Amino acid sequence: MKTIQIINVRWFNATAWYGLYLARLLREAGHETLVITEPDTEADAKAKEWGFTPLHFDLNSSNPFKLVRAYVQLYKLIKQFTPDIVNCHRGEGFILWGLLRKSLGSFKLVRTRGDQRLPKNNLPNRWLHTNVADAVVATNSVMANHFISKLHVPEHKLSTILGGVDTEKFVFNHIGRTAFREKLGYDESHFVVSMLGRFDEVKGQKELIEAVGKLYNEKGMKQLRLMLLGFETATSQDEVESWITANNIGEITCITGKVPDVTAAISAMDLGVVASKWSETIARAAFEIMACKRPLISTGVGVMPDFMDEEAMFEAGNVEALADKLERAANDNTYLQRIFDLQQKEIAKLSGQHFLEKTLSLYSNL
């Protein structure tokens, strides 16, 4: 099968990861795959790192002359490459592909929606998703329900595909765990709570820091250690460090920055935390933590309820609720084992191979 994956995303965020990882899986399975990215972006660099030669068009432009030029260029590309499937992972430029789909009729058009923003219920969106796209993929059930109830996308056109994780790369590493913990000054008497992700208000680092501070300083849980496995983006490291200082947990907290062996760092956790206040439409970090056989607690935003047990979730933005879950996980081994066992059953169905098979099934049906 021949596909084009449109990944015109500036950052290497969850949407870009979803599209590029899918492209890589398709290529490794023997399907001829082109990727289109925005030039000189993180997503473009990652595509090159993974062995692709990405193509560039002015899909994100608002200049009508550039869009007309892009349409002509894409028309030529379709004629030369003759794809079976074109899969758009972002909305910018989607209308060009819709017009090409109507004009040429030689390929099937798929729109994958992994963005946190729900699509607006307006005439152009309804036309594109119900009349032009041959299929719509939602990366979580909230998005899927929105497409059906608000945009009236027929159920037979809609698929929910959560993505998947590379289970050959993300595996528990005992040697790496020990070495990473030793490097940070942690031993096995410590209970290491960790968040994997960029520094941003949406991710909930502030709430996690406050919850750990409450347990450590007010409840005397001196075995706690906090590892922030991430780096500054929208929120600066200086600001994060100010929260750590304000909550008096500087001596038990480590900010790792980017690490060369992320599986060793994940393996060093005793408990992973997803404290996101919104977003999480694609659960890349959660999948990686679960694949490395680390138990996880999370808020109930985005895709999380699609695979997380209610007992492992807490209210977004609620520091008291987060602290309660942390305290229980650190002190109740039966609880920790129970949520771990349930999560391992779920992650067994969320491998990269499952991701590929579900997508190929959709493509083949089209």
Domains 2-164+351-365 and 174-347 share a fold: yes
What angle (nearest 5°) sits at the alpha carbon of residue 105, between those of residues 103 and 111?
95
Q: What is the CA radius of gyration of the chain?
A: 22
Measure the CA–CA gap between 30 and 5, rounded to whole angstroms.
15
SS percent in the chain: helix, strand, coil, step 5: 50, 15, 35
Measure the CA–CA gap between 246 and 10, rounded to whole angstroms.
34
Predicted confidence pLDDT, tens digits, the chain (366 residues): 999 999 999 989 999 999 999 999 999 999 999 999 999 999 999 999 999 999 999 999 989 999 999 999 999 999 999 999 999 999 999 999 999 999 999 999 999 999 888 889 999 899 999 999 999 999 999 999 999 999 999 999 999 999 999 999 999 999 999 999 999 999 999 999 999 999 999 999 999 999 999 999 999 999 999 999 999 999 999 999 999 999 999 999 999 999 999 999 999 999 999 999 988 999 999 999 999 999 999 999 999 999 999 999 999 999 999 999 999 999 999 999 999 999 999 999 999 999 999 999 999 999
Which regions of 144-292 does DSSP assign to beta strands (E)? Answer: 158-160, 191-196, 224-229, 253-255, 271-274
Closest by alpha carbon to 133, among 106, 159, 98? 98
CA distances from 101 to 1, 97, 110, 149 (A): 18, 6, 10, 25
Dig out the tokens for 7 from the structure: 């990944």
Pick the CATH number of 2-164+351-365 from 3.40.640.10, 3.40.50.300, 3.40.190.10, 3.40.50.2000: 3.40.50.2000
Contact predicate 287/279, CB 8 Å:
no
CATH no., domain 174-347 = 3.40.50.2000
pTM (2 decimals)? 0.94
How many helices (H) and strands (E) the chain has is answered by: 14, 12
Beta pairing, strands 271-274 & 296-299? parallel
Residue ranges per structural domain of the chain = 2-164+351-365, 174-347
Contact predicate 15/9, CB 8 Å:
yes
